[in-house]
Amino acid sequence: MRAFNCTHVTAHVLTPLPPNHQLCVCVCRCLRHTEPVLLVGETGTGKTTVCQLLALMRGQRLHVLNCNQHTETSDFLGGFRPARGRCGS
User: Tell me: the pLDDT tens digits for 40-87?
Assistant: 888 888 888 888 888 988 899 988 888 888 988 888 888 877 777 766
Domain boundaries, the chain: 1-67
State the Cα torsion 52-57-59-61 to the nearest 10°: -10
CA-closest candidate to residue 27, choices 49, 59, 10: 49
Measure the CA–CA gap between 39 and 1, rounded to whole angstroms: 22
pTM: 0.60
Tell me what pLDDT residue 35 has: 94
Give the model confidence (pLDDT) of 1-46 as tens digits. Answer: 344 444 444 445 555 566 778 888 899 999 999 999 888 888 888 8
Number of residues that make up the chain: 89
What pLDDT, on the 0 to 100 scale, is given for residue 45?
Answer: 86
